[in-house]
Amino acid sequence: MLVLGLHRTTSKLTLKSARSRLRVAMTDTKVPQNILIHILRRDLRASDNPLLHAAATAPDGEKFDAHLPLYVIDASQMDVSGFVKDKDTANPYKPTRSQVAGYPRCGPYRAKFVGEAVWDLSESLKRLGSGLFVRLGNLPEVVESLARGLAEKGAKVGAIWMTSHEGSEEKADEKAVASLCDNIGAEWKLWVDEKYFIDDRDIGLESINQLPDVFTTYRKMQEPLRAKPRPVLPPIEKGFLPPLVDKALVPEQPTPFTIPDTLDGLVDALASPVKDFLPNKPDFPEGTQSAHPYKGGEAGAHERLNHFILSGAASSYKATRNGLLGTEFSTKLSAFLAQGCITARQVHATLDAFERGTDARFKDVKGFGAYKDKEDATEVAEGDKSEGKAKSSKENEGIEAIRFELLWRDYMRLCHQKYRNKFFRLSGFQKDYKEEDAGDGSGSGSGSGSEGKPPKKHEWKSPVKERALPDQVPSAEGVAETLERFKAGTTGMGLIDASQRELLHTGYTSNRARQNVASFLAKHLKIDWRYGAEWYEMLLVDYDVSSNWANWQYVSGVGNDPRGEIRIFNPIKQAFEYDKEGSYVRAWVPEVSKLKKLENVFQPCTASKEDLMEAGLVGNVMVTEPVLRINYYVDAKPRTNKRGGFRRGSRRVGGGRHMTHGHGNGNDGKTNHANGNGSGNGNGNVNGNGQTHDARMDAPVVNGTTRGPGNRVAHHRGSFVGSRSPGGGRGGYFNGGGRHYNGNGNGNGNGNNFHNNNTNGGGAHSPGPNGGGPKYRGGGPRYPFARGGGGGGSFHRGGHNGSHNRDNGSSSGSSPPPDGPI
Ligand SMILES: Cc1cc2nc3c(=O)[nH]c(=O)nc-3n(C[C@H](O)[C@H](O)[C@H](O)COP(=O)(O)OP(=O)(O)OC[C@H]3O[C@@H](n4cnc5c(N)ncnc54)[C@H](O)[C@@H]3O)c2cc1C
């Protein structure tokens, strides 16, 4: 901003002289006197773009006499050294680095995608008889120098328009351009960002402070979702945009930079400086395919969307969205949406046209035309009951689920609007924790602990000495080493490593994998979660400031997850659930592909010496020094190697149809961070403490994750909150007293009870009352992974079984092997 301030002063002077020159030039009628500069940022599309639409449809007398669509490659967010013409000349811009970890802010995947999207927009605008100017630098400075250059040639800027975007830097740019407009006497207009599902003007909040902190509350305010998006704007016809400003009037890109005039040149200049972001990056595994092979741009976005419907994948999305491998399990629209290549309401409109049968392109796809508005459906039903067409008013489940996710995206952005820079704080956007607040009943969300206490103060490990905790184990150096392993995908935790390597190689990884990775870093390793968020910021092709930071906060327990700290993803259990054949981990971590047993693939340190030898893994760091070891039971047998030294827990299924795994961790009595886990399953919808809240549809199963006791005096802390889903209750939460030691046990219960079940856990003997309601069977098809809990966490240090649950539900108690060093 300092630079900008200086610039503004200079520009005022320059503009004065430019104005006097302008008076002379006024006689030349060819020089435009009412130019619209239209700054495009993350709205890289020609269709459904309100600014272009307004410019194209203005009544004749109000039309701008020239148009200057502008994209600025922002030197504060991207490495622009690739644009330096003469390689002996220095890049005047400092390298762009993230604040906490110092990673490049935009890595090669997004850089390439953005280059492609900019190119595509330029082509679209040309087709409309216009074009796009691409410049590089600091946005307000670039705009100012263009305005100055135009003025020097006798042209006048009549207005500058841009779309409002979230992010403090984006806001600062908006402010700076607004004040530039004041200086040059141009109209300033900041437009609502219309690439979201529900338009900001339709959400029904008087102020953003009224935004509920729980997504479900917000969703309910907005339902029915399909009725909410505004219609897409009509397409712009060729020749309707104001004429493109004459290139000769527009200042060139100042040295030492040149903007390439080919797509390959542009992509190369953007991506090549950041391609070596990790020394010794593992090789791309032979035969593995990227789940995100898409090119940026509006054309690609619509192609992808149409394909997703035509292949039938949109209709089955609800069942597949937790997939890990391949292109078809989810829409892969995120990167297009992030750059504004497509709007969420365009996505909605296309899906809606398929559902209603109004777009013949989809006529051969099952479900085409199956949706009717209620009134139409009733009419049809009355006229033709035999064909059961009344049912046709039902929404397509897959498409309903896509709408739901698009609303999440809206919500994350609104949270950003509400909490602004708290998004980037270690403590998140929750209320700051103060010791004296304990017990004041102001806990965040309904599920973050019983008795309304605020969440426990997070203690984050840091790789930086100055920021490390006084008693941090391991030391800052140790944490730094762990982070390197985390980044390279060599932690020894198969699902995490596969996801991290997929990200390294492609810039994409699925939502399910992201949740596990974030939870692993924040909740298992307890490392400052911002290192993960910044790593994602650099590498994700679909990085979006609101979605990324809000999701990281959510999963790390400092954001708006009502279950906050207690939601912990067990990456082994999750791998068993979502990578049933181990194909995902084998695809991205080829070293483990020769291991036969799944539990070994998911955690190679559990393999026998013979198997390790056969797989060529002896001495591999993932085996010799896994950053964490999680003991896990399959078929009632502990899946760990003998070194763990724990006795078996048992698994008894409490009726949950999908119950397959119990698991348990324990403590060897040596480390402070050992765990006692127990989990089990039962049936039912169980809600502890009478609190009901919606877990996300994709809420992870976090049964029995336990942090072991530091002392024996266990006290109930959390009780638990059950999922409201009919598929089963969630486990109880139990805190084992010691500062570092919690024991979790899952509550039990059959049926649709909302009973207070918080006495279970940790050697619990009392399952929740039986309910057995027919309506709420465990693991129902809708929420197949929701569970009624049954296990009790272990509170024993070393060598004992953890829990002994009786009756319904199961137990897998634990005895305590080391949970390994971090
Ligand atoms: C730790 C973490 C970081 C994330 N960072 C980003 C990010 O930087 N950019 C980003 O777009 N998404 C982010 N997500 C959300 C989600 O993982 C991706 O949107 C999704 O995986 C993209 O694939 P898709 O387009 O096939 O999604 P689909 O499953 O097909 O979903 C459809 C669309 O809904 C939206 N969406 C889905 N899930 C979410 C969600 N949890 N939050 C917000 N929007 C969602 C996306 O726009 C997505 O394209 C993050 C999630 C986690 C857990």
- Contact 573 CB / ligand 1 (< 6 Å): no
Please say if the pLDDT value at position 40 is more than 90. yes
Q: Residues 597-618: what's their mean pLDDT?
A: 97
| H or E element, residue 23 | helix 2-25
Q: Does 544 contact ligand 1 (Cβ within 6 A)?
A: yes
Query: Which residue type, as a one-letter code, is found at position 203?
Result: I
Which helix H or strand E contains 353, and what residues bound it? Answer: helix 344-356
411 is in an annotated binding site: no
pLDDT given for residue 767 in this prediction? 30
User: How many beta carbons lie within 10 A of that of residue 364, not counting itself?
Assistant: 9
**Cβ count within 10 A of residue 120:** 23
Mean pLDDT of the chain: 75
Q: Which ranges of 185-235 does DSSP label H, i.e. alpha helix?
A: 215-222
First to last CA, the chain: 41
Region 233-249: mean pLDDT is 97
In whole angstroms, give the CA distance from residue 707 to residue 686: 22
CATH 3.40.50.620 fits 35-194+230-271, yes or no: yes
Distance CA 724, CA 695 (A): 7
Q: Is the CB of 533 under 6 A from ligand 1?
A: no
Greater model confidence, 437 or 370: 370
- pLDDT number for residue 506: 98
Looking at per-residue pLDDT, the higher value among 775 and 464 belongs to 464
CB of 613 closer than 8 Å to CB of 623: no
- The token duo for 681 is 């399953």
Question: Residue 247, exposed/middle/buried by CB under 10 A (0-12, 13-18, 19+)?
Answer: exposed
Point out the ligand 1 atom lying closest to the alpha carbon of residue 537. Answer: 8
Ligand 1, residue 334: give the atom nearest the CA: 49
CA atoms within 13 Å, Cβ hemisphere of 340: 22
List every span in the chain annotated with CATH 1.25.40.80: 200-224+291-424
339: Cα within 13 Å, side-chain hemisphere: 31
Q: How far is the CA of 138 from the centre of ligand 1 (A)?
A: 29
Q: State residue 548's pLDDT score.
A: 98
Residue 786 predicted with pLDDT over 60: no
Tokens of 744: 């979790």
Tally of CB atoms within 10 A around 241: 26
Q: Is 119 left (phi over 0), alpha (psi -120 to 50) or beta?
A: alpha
Residue 376: pLDDT band (50, 70, 90) is: low
Average confidence (pLDDT) over 706-713: 26
Kindly report the backbone phi and psi dihedral angles of residue 77, in degrees, each rounded to the nearest multiple of 5, phi listed first.
-120, -20
Q: Per-residue confidence at 698, pLDDT binned at 50, 70, 90?
A: very low
Min mean pLDDT across 64-78, 94-108, 470-484, 647-661 is at 647-661
- For residue 395, name the pLDDT band (cuts at 50, 70, 90): confident
Specify the ligand 1 atom closest to the Cα of 509.
21
Asked if residue 663 has pLDDT above 60, the reply is no
44 close to 118: Cβ distance less than 8 angstroms: yes
Q: What is the pLDDT of residue 565?
A: 74
Sign of CA dihedral 443, 448, 450, 454: negative
Give the tens place of pLDDT for each residue, 74-102.
999 999 999 998 888 999 999 899 999 99
- Whole-number Å distance between alpha carbons of 297 and 305: 12
Instruction: Identify the three-state secondary structure at position 72.
Output: strand
State the Cα–Cα distance between residues 549 and 416, nearest whole angstrom.
9
For tokens 């949950």, what's the residue? 656
Gap from CA of 509 to ligand 1 centroid (Å): 10
Which has the closest alpha carbon to 532: 510, 505, 555, 511? Answer: 555
Encoded tokens for 194 = 């219309």
Which two tokens mark 650?
């048992």
According to DSSP, residue 775 is labeled: T
Q: How many other C-beta atoms are found inside a 10 Å radius of the C-beta of residue 670?
A: 10
Measured CA to CA, the distance from residue 502 to residue 402 in angstroms comes to 24
Q: What is the DSSP letter of 577?
A: H
| Any atom of ligand 1 within 6 Å of the Cβ of 402 | yes
Helix (H, G, I), strand (E, B) or coil at 299: helix
Q: Are 805 and 791 in contact (CB under 8 A)?
A: yes
Contact 38, 51 (CB under 8 A): yes
Rounded mean pLDDT, 649-658: 28
Whose tokens are 């040309």? That residue is: 126
pTM of the predicted structure, to 2 decimals: 0.77
Give me the mean pLDDT over the 722-743 stretch. Answer: 29
- Closest Cα to atom 23, ligand 1: which residue? 332
pLDDT at 654: 27
pLDDT given for residue 375 in this prediction = 57
pLDDT of residue 563: 75
What does CATH list as the number for 200-224+291-424? 1.25.40.80
Separation between Cα atoms, residue 354 and residue 70, nearest integer Å: 35
| Nearest alpha carbon, ligand 1 atom 5 | 548
E strand spans, 538-608: none
Q: In 3-state terms, what secondary structure has residue 443?
A: coil
Give the amino acid at 374: K
Q: How many residues does the chain have?
A: 822
pLDDT in tens, 324-335: 999 999 999 999
Known binding residue 543? Answer is: yes
Average pLDDT over residues 16-23: 41
Question: 632: pLDDT confidence band, cut at 50, 70 and 90?
Answer: confident
CA–centroid distance, residue 302 to ligand 1 (Å): 18
Among 240, 291, 266, smallest CA distance to 584 is for: 291
Which atom of ligand 1 approaches the CA of 515 most closely? 53
371 lines ligand 1 (CB under 6 A): no
Is the pLDDT at 166 greater than 50? The verdict is: yes
Does 758 score more than 70 pLDDT? no
Find out whether 208 and 200 touch, Cβ atoms under 8 Å. Answer: no
Mean pLDDT in residue range 40-54? 98
Confidence of residue 623 (pLDDT cuts 50, 70, 90): very high
Exposure letters 273-306 (e unless 16+ CB within 10 A, then b): bbeebbeeebeebeebebbbebbbbbbbbbebbb
Q: What is the pLDDT of residue 633?
A: 72
Nearest CA to ligand 1 atom 12: 547
Per-residue tokens: 246: 């004459």
Domain with CATH 3.40.50.620 in the chain: 35-194+230-271
Residue 816 reports pLDDT greater than 60: no
Those residues with Cβ within 8 angstroms of residue 223's Cβ, 6 or more apart along the chain or in another chain: none
Q: Is 356 helix (H, G, I), strand (E, B) or coil?
A: helix
Position 6 pLDDT exceeds 60? no
Higher pLDDT among residues 52 and 567, named by residue: 52
Cβ–Cβ under 8 Å, residues 249 and 146: no
What sections of 447-591 are H helices per DSSP? Answer: 476-488, 494-506, 511-519, 530-539, 545-556, 571-578, 583-588
Percent of the chain with pLDDT over 70: 68
Ligand 1: residue of 542, 546, 555 to mutate (most ligand atoms within 8 A of CB) is 542
Residue 112, helix vs strand vs coil: helix
Nearest alpha-carbon partner for 196 in 172, 234, 225: 225
Distance, in Å, from the CA atom of 396 to the CA atom of 225, rounded to the nearest integer, reads: 13
Atom of ligand 1 nearest to the CA of 517: 1
Task: Tell whether 725 is in a known binding site.
Answer: no
Residue 372 has what pLDDT? 83
pLDDT on residue 394: 72
- The pLDDT of residue 666 is above 60: no
C-alpha 304/C-alpha 291 separation (Å) is 13
Alpha-carbon distance values, 586 to 75, 600, 701 (Å): 39, 11, 23
Backbone angles phi, psi at 554, to 5 degrees: -60, -50
pLDDT band at 456 (very low <50, low <70, confident <90, very high): low
Where do we find the tokens 């049954």? 790
pLDDT of residue 431: 58
Residue with tokens 């500062």: 739
In tens, the pLDDT along 255-286 reads 999 999 999 999 999 999 999 999 888 899 99
Q: What is the pLDDT of residue 457?
A: 64
HEC readout, 302-348? HHHHHHHHHCCCCCCHHHHCCCCCCCCCCCCCHHHHHCCCCCHHHHH
- Tell whether omega for the bond before 474 is within 30 degrees of 0, i.e. cis: yes
Q: How far is CA 348 from the centre of its chain?
A: 20
Identify the residue with better confidence: 318 or 765.
Answer: 318
Looking at per-residue confidence, does 166 or 389 come out higher?
166
Ranges 455-459, 570-574, 676-680, most confident: 570-574
Per DSSP (E only), the strands in 675-742 are: 681-682, 715-719, 733-735
Q: What's the one-letter identity of residue 165?
A: H
d(CA 105, CA 115) in angstroms, rounded, equals 16
- Which numbered atom of ligand 1 lies nearest the CA of 543? 8
Residue type, 651: R
Going by C-beta distance under 8 Å and a sequence separation of 6 or more, which residues neighbour residue 698?
321, 322, 511, 512, 515
Averaged pLDDT for residues 18-31: 50
Residue 333 assigned as binding residue = yes
**544 assigned to a ligand binding site:** yes
Q: Within 10 A of 694 (CB to CB), how many other CB atoms are there? A: 16
Residue 571 carries which DSSP code?
Answer: H
Torsions phi, psi of 594, nearest 5? -85, -10
Query: Are 273 and 81 in contact, with CB atoms under 8 Å apart?
Result: yes
